[in-house]
């Protein structure tokens, strides 16, 4: 996994840029960001909270990149893209339908 030629001639920049933008936009308002805000709000050490949060995100991204690379060798890329797209559609659909419920309404049965 030698990246030096791509980094030197700039061929890696479009992939790095699109990956950064996609992950950055996906993380805005995500549970990770909300957890970081909550932890930072209860401490007076925002730099340490940032370091912990950033380290966790880097590790999770590394695991995803390694698993994705291995999975891409076993499953055709088109099928992986379709599975990812369907997953996002399902998540989005759940968010849309749950946001349309009146406030305070839950799916749990009422308590006896």
- List, for residues 29-50, the tens digit of each pLDDT value: 788 888 888 888 888 899 999 9
pLDDT at 53: 92
Among 8, 34, 26, 10, residue whose Cα is nearest residue 64 = 26
Residues 86-111: tens digit of each pLDDT: 988 988 888 788 777 766 555 555 55
Does this model's pTM top 0.75?
Answer: no
Residues of the chain with pLDDT > 90, as a percent, come to: 13
pLDDT at 98: 78
> Residue 36's CB: how many other CB atoms inside 10 A?
20
């Amino acid at each position: 996994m030698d990246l030096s030629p791509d980094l030197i001639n700039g061929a890696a920049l479009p992939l790095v840029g699109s990956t950064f933008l996609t992950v950055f936009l996906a993380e805005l308002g995500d549970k990770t960001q909300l957890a970081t805000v909550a932890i930072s709000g209860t401490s007076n050490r925002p730099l340490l909270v940032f370091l912990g949060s950033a380290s966790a995100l880097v590790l999770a991204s590394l695991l995803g990149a390694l698993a994705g690379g291995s999975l891409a060798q076993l499953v055709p890329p088109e099928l992986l893209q379709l599975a990812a797209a369907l997953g996002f559609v399902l998540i989005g659909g759940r968010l849309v339908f749950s946001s349309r419920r009146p406030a305070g309404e839950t799916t749990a049965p009422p308590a006896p």
